Amino acid sequence: MSNKEKILEYLDAFSSVNPAAVVSRLSRGFRLAKSLGQEYEIDNINLDDELGRFPVGAIPYNLVNKALRSEGPALRALFGEASCIPFSRVVKAGFGQCLEKAILLQLATQKAGISYLVSGALEEVDGGAMQHSFNLVARAESVYLVDAENPFQRDKAGNVLRPYVVHVNDISPSGAIIVDEACRAGRTYSLD
């Protein structure tokens, strides 16, 4: 069994036990929890078409970053008094943080192969830890960790200079995603 197959088997097993944490396919009507009792409902599985054209199998990292700006207060305002809103409203408004970017990336990448939307955790080297959403995308013989919210590098205007798309070596029994030390950028991602 290849390393990629082992990782995918682990993700499928984890997903069967904790389906809210690891989602392998988004479909129309699927609901995802945001926070504070708020949810998104997937109302259009082709929202990635709003990103423009990109090659089949590509990971449209920069397009997702350009489509959704990280403005938390504006994003929360989209809900108003509602506890659940259609995800298309988010894309139309152009606001999004880690979860919204991971959802849009999942919609794009699931069409061309195996990918997962992960609602897990991110721990920074300074000891800060938080809930965080990201993607794991299988392409060719590898699995890649994709954090559309936190690129390696941005320019002064906020444009992505170097996306955070890194090869996954393994997943530890505790759910920590293992990448090369040079690619960690002081971060540790985990499934929960």
Report how far apart the first and last C-alpha atoms of the chain are (Å, whole number). 25
Q: How many CB atoms lie within 10 A of CB 130?
A: 9
Percentage of residues in the chain having pLDDT higher than 70 = 100
pTM score, two decimals? 0.95
The string of pLDDT tens digits covering residues 45-78 is: 999 998 988 888 899 999 998 899 888 888 889 9
- The predicted structure's pLDDT at residue 97: 94
CA 51/CA 82 separation, integer angstroms: 26
Residue type, 68: L
